[in-house]
Structure 1
Amino acid sequence: MTQQSTEPQTVAEDAGEGSRQPAGRSWLDRYFHISARGSSIARELRGGITTFMAMCYILLLNPVILGSVGDVKHHTLAQPALVTATAFAAAISTLLMGFIGKVPLALAAGLNVSAALTTQVVPNMTWPQAMGMCVMYGVVICLLVVTGLREMVMNAIPLPLKHAITMGIGMFVALIGLVKAGFVGPGKGTPVTLGLTGELSGWPVLFFCFTLLLIFVLQARKVPGAILIGIVAGSVVSIAATKFGGLTDKDWGGAPPALHGSAVSMPDFGLFGHVQFGGWDKIGALSVGMIVFTLVLAGFFDAMATIIGVGTEAKLADDKGRMPGLSKALFVDGAGGAIGGLTGSSGQTVFIESASGVGEGARTGLSSVVTGLFFAACLFFTPLTQLVPAQVAAAALVVIGSMMMSAAAHVDWSDRSVSIPVFLTVGLMPFTYQITTGVGAGVIAYTAIKAAQGKWREIGPFMWVLTGIFLVYFSLHPIEQWLGVK
């Protein structure tokens, strides 16, 4: 009863209509509206710690994705610098969400954005140029928020395609995890094979399978922090097997997991500010535009749904989905793209794991501040990530992919005008190793099928424009050949 009677008051406060909170509250309570939202400082602290524990696996996974790919100059990013950049960007973005958005949402490097960077962006340019793309996409999203176009675009793209994009990126991320673990790779006489010989070949692949199965079991039993527990357990088993089982560099295909020196070190800010704008003339303006569009798509759709979903779970949203500080939260989420580019860690986005903190009682931005401070503390414990094998961390990528596939429940598979575009979107992303290809195929198929059915009004002007852009994109190479450009 107390929360229901005070929540409209909270909305008014965030709308700038003045504070009505009882006198005598601490400045912390007044600033974050802790009492007004039916929470307490203890709950916010507990919620912030829980959220951090649920999502700190990103400190391991993001460096695995970004650190294994070289740019056009064959330059790869150093692992210690990547861990620092990931922690630093997460800390800044989450602290901004806490102090400005004042909602219990935490941000970190989006694995979908990182996947798009490594597979579609970096092969065509240098890492500083790729991070420049991140800054650009973050600015674009901020402009969409300020102008109100973000919600308009969300409404223009059909809901089934939104679910398809989420599922496709999930499959893509899962495939990256399988490849990183060595579970899937080039085969002899077949496109892919299991392990190296059709069987589970090598100890690292076995550690991957152990970690993956353990996380799935823990999730099925609804154990909080299942991903983190699984990664820690997999790392312990890997280290124990290496030490007592006599595993060598040859068994690991490289250096085995071990702590070299102290567990504490100064952060490596070597990637900070390495951003370059321009120099994209070799790939063309259209390709640059499509890359930015791909990054916007990768970081765009889940964020709004996550913000509203977690806000509703925290009982901050009304019956129309409105919640205090929504526009500010969306802006901070967009700014996360630019922050990720400037720090060298990939675009930042809101994490659904924020719901775990809400489940522990978090209702305000104070919990986000706590989560951000924990990420900041991780800047000084970078060497600990050396204890986690890449194969163990890769298991979490597969788990994340499986979680994103839950959107399939919202698709009407009996309607062919829906199921065909969804199938093309989901299937082509991992099979072609390109997010843009899947999105483009889904958009074109949706427009073509709806038009063939005579349902012109269901398509909408924006979808027609998007279809035209993708048609040009897919036809660019033959058009250039025809015109003699290449």
Structure 2
Amino acid sequence: MGWFEEYFEFERYGTNMRTEILAGITTFMTMAYILFVNPSILSVAMGKGAFNTLVAVTALSAGITTIIMGIYAKKPFALAPGMGLNGYFTYSVVLGMGYSWQVALAAVFVEGLIFIVLSVTKVRSAVINAIPMSQKYAVGAGIGLFLTFIGLNDVSFITATAKSGVLQFTGLNYSAMVSKAGLLFLFGLFLAAILIAYRMKGALLISILTTATLGWLTGAAPWPHHFFSMPTVSYTFLKLDLKGLLNVGALGVIFAFLMVDFFDTIGTVTGLSAKAGYLTKEGKIPDSEKILLTDAIGTTLGALLGTSTVTTYIESASGIEEGGRTGMTALVVGLLFLAIGLFIAPLAGAIPAFATAPALVIVGYYMMSTIKQVDFSDPADAIPAFLVIMAIPFTYSISVGIGLGFISYTIIKAFRGKWKEVHPLMWVLAIIFAAYFAYLGGAF
């Protein structure tokens, strides 16, 4: 025990082993829902046969990367495949744009490599400073609506499909709302909301398991034949198709993954560091390069294993609230993912869509909260932000939303005579996106 206390600097942070372990358990309980939700989303793109592998891959990528965060960066931050980007992977890149899931994994892998380079060079600072804050916040809010759409679609409350990046929406399905599955979805949604209102730890996990159990008891879903099995990763391991990225359209996919991952990580890490008391007087994050590099390594590793982008989870705040201040907290989280998550594929596979869909809607609520950071008194900032928020769910494409936001931001600023406020890199990105949209529209 003495080695752990010395290595993780318990005395410096005023913590102890018991506090760190409890904090780790709390964080794991808060984010363990990803073991059920991530496979359910990605298996839509990869096929039902991938589900068991995806449970193991989710646990492996989360467990290994979080352990690296604990031992290398020594921070109480946990990582797992990110919500929003798994939806973009499935519904935009694979189902919407028509790429194979193997090509989508290759895009995630390349994005991870670029993220690694950005994390170890000064380019990172240039990119951070180039993108206006309003655009960063808008992307998060837009993804929140995107996830809500997916959740409602999973239980047929709405019928929406995406073809060639265009959303086809057929309206509200009232019969689905009063079906057994629909009523159970509403139960799970309100249960999660009430638990969250009471600040209950693990609210989403409790909602998923309770709703699933009610579904089994009422016959709305079949009981699991068994709860545990040995893990397998054979379906997705090293199945990347790098050759499939050799076209202009794939560049937009890679950039969208990179954009969302990079700024979501920065925003999450900044918020968590502030909560844990790490920020310096200048607002800087100690060891930020180590944190970002760990995140980037997690994305690269996750793509090799077979999952979408791995990122730092804001749910880590629950463990920080419990007193977790060192990498020991993350180490506990990572070990729990490996000890539990690797073996629960049969249980995860028996969780019906109406039990996981409420989690998607609630995560959408969490992500939408970033919109309050946008200054709506300044139309030059607010209108481009609005266009991002509107475009992401309505087109089922994060990259379209980002591109529309960048282009509109630079144009509006230029016509207001404030073109000097626009970072040169934003002009470059806007031109690239304009050319990308022209290519997709068949202009050349």
TM exceeding 0.5: yes
Is the aligned partner of 1:420 residue 2:408? no
Unmatched segments (≥5 aa) in structure 1: 1-24, 248-255
What is the RMSD of the two structures over their aligned residues, measured on CA atoms?
A: 1.9
Q: Which residue of 1 aligns with 2:165?
A: none
- CA deviation string 1:415-448 (max 9, x = no partner): 2112211111001110111111111111111111
SS in structure 2 opposite 1:111? coil
Match of 1:96 among 61, 65, 68: 68
Q: Distance in 2 between matches of 1:221 and 1:50?
A: 16
Q: Which amino acid aligns with 1:278?
A: L
Q: Distance in 2 between matches of 1:176 and 1:196?
A: 17
Go from structure 1 to structure 2 and tell me whether the alpha carbon gap of 1:386 and 1:258 turns closer, same or farther (over 3 Å shift): farther
Match of 1:69 among 22, 45, 61: 45
Match of 2:398 among 435, 442, 451: 435
Instruction: Write out the 4+ residue segments of structure 1 that deviate beyond 3 Å after TM superposition.
Output: 477-480
Q: Which amino acid aligns with 1:101?
A: A
Is the aligned partner of 1:49 residue 2:36? no
Q: Distance in 1 between matches of 2:441 and 2:306?
A: 35
Measure how far apart 1:381 and its partner are.
2.3
Q: Which residue of 1 aligns with 2:301?
A: 339
Q: Distance in 2 between matches of 1:97 and 1:154?
A: 22
Unmatched segments (≥5 aa) in structure 2: 162-167
Is the aligned partner of 1:274 residue 2:238? yes
- CA deviation string 1:65-99 (max 9, x = no partner): 111125xxxx5552111111111111111011111
Q: Which residue of 2 aligns with 1:352?
A: 314
Further displaced range: 123-132 or 457-466: 123-132
- CA deviation string 1:445-482 (max 9, x = no partner): 111111000001111101100110011011114555xx
Q: Which residue of 2 aligns with 1:172?
A: 146
Q: Which amino acid aligns with 1:358?
A: I
- CA deviation string 1:318-371 (max 9, x = no partner): 222334322111100111111110111211100000000011110000110100
SS in structure 2 opposite 1:274? coil
Q: Which residue of 2 aligns with 1:467?
A: 430
Match of 2:16 among 32, 36, 40: 40
SS in structure 2 opposite 1:69? helix
Q: Distance in 2 between matches of 1:186 and 1:426?
A: 18
Q: How does 1:137-216 map to 2 (within 5 A)?
A: 137-185=111-159, 191-195=169-173, 197=175, 200-216=177-193
Q: How does 1:279-298 map to 2 (within 5 A)?
A: 279-280=243-244, 285-298=247-260
Match of 2:213 among 233, 236, 239: 236
SS in structure 1 opposite 2:93? helix
Q: Distance in 2 between matches of 1:87 and 1:343?
A: 11
SS in structure 2 opposite 1:349? strand
Q: Distance in 1 between matches of 2:290 and 2:381?
A: 34
Q: Distance in 1 between matches of 2:317 and 2:440?
A: 45
Q: Distance in 2 between matches of 1:423 and 1:322?
A: 29
SS in structure 1 opposite 2:159? strand
Go from structure 1 to structure 2 and tell me whether the alpha carbon gap of 1:257 and 1:100 turns closer, same or farther (over 3 Å shift): farther
**Does the 8 A contact of 2:76 with 2:325 survive in 1?**
yes
SS in structure 2 opposite 1:36? helix
Match of 2:81 among 109, 119, 124: 109
Is the aligned partner of 1:303 residue 2:268? no
**Does the 8 A contact of 2:391 with 2:397 survive in 1?**
yes
Percent identity for Structure 1 against Structure 2: 37
Q: Distance in 1 between matches of 2:135 and 2:349?
A: 39
Go from structure 1 to structure 2 and tell me whether the alpha carbon gap of 1:474 and 1:408 turns closer, same or farther (over 3 Å shift): same
